[in-house]
A and B are shown apart, each in its own frame.
Chain A
């Protein structure tokens, strides 16, 4: 009789043990500040203020903290990912799983007002510093370029026509533009190894080194210059790259990417006035955020000196305004220009003194469509 009673409540006993045991262990466990899996800092304990208590943000932040630091968070995330796969889901956290392991960002809308503001900032710049050769290149996202990998029926923002419209408007303001859709779609290096020589990564929003090269070739050819053949240079391979899409989707069986980089000889690399050792931050190849190796990640002003020519020696110079797409791209420009100055407007606000201090043969604006339509730092051109 006694034992029958005990077994009839075994579920309750296990439930209580699980809830109380796990809660206690979770409260006692130290918790971590950074998640490798998600590539982000986890929410910390909020500071208490009466104001935050009264507008309910204090308790909300505590909940966020509890969620983020929950014991074995990564394991729970994996359980969800497996369950979602069992439910045949092909999407998590706004990331879509396409064919052959390619992931894409879901982008149903875009900020047309911010895009207009950014374009106007560009026109303002062109008028303020007349007489420059300015080119605009917008990088479409991977779902446009690799459209055959996107699940049928998903209609992301129609970037092609929006970009064409921007090119037309740019032309009216005497700004050249180079369309990248065609060069990125007809990638000649894809033949080497279909899977790893695509122009975009599977698990990251950036373009691959072959993608950046295709854009480079299209750009310099449009200037009437010959594009270099970097495949003659030593090519290095870094395996197991899990990019930003993966960090959001956390798909348990995602296929990692392979990163390629060329050993391009340069005379010197200077970032924010400090000399750096080469084009790449080699430490990053071993870390999670591998794309950050290119050009030592995003920095205010980066100067690549290709030849070490002195100012008097008829030096060719190019100025590039870019987002992170530019990091894999800019190294190729050292083949055609003696000096490449790379500006990231998120971290650089002295456009006027920069423009007054030197002449540039070419000025290039290179932005991914997402940042050109969302980024608020492009207005720094007006400074």
Chain B
């Protein structure tokens, strides 16, 4: 009888664990599907050439980055790759980072998920959480139309990125 209890308990527990594991694998699959979907978007975003160094030249090149995009797309089979990091649990939820590599250089870093939006605990879902600089979209890969910064005085405007953008669009 003791054997019966031990065997049934082992079987039941194993069954429950396997069922849990199977549905867990299912979740992991769907999230990697999301990740690969995101890869496409992030990849195309990453094509833009840098506006980040802030000089008028680079901004201008951003304005005419169509060629750069096609070039990169053509080479994408070999030179472009997106890599999703593993999901890391933080006190603010799970974080997954994705990098885009072009010609051996990291061109784009995005956080694929803080957590799956609807699975996130509501109470802290919109709390500001620490992150590394490479976890936000980096400047050289961001093709932007306007720039937000702490109040720019008229004097400072001349050297600002916004001025460069405005100049490009005059």
* A pairs with B: no
A residues neighboring B (CB under 8 Å) = none
Interface residues of B, Cβ cutoff 8 Å to A = none
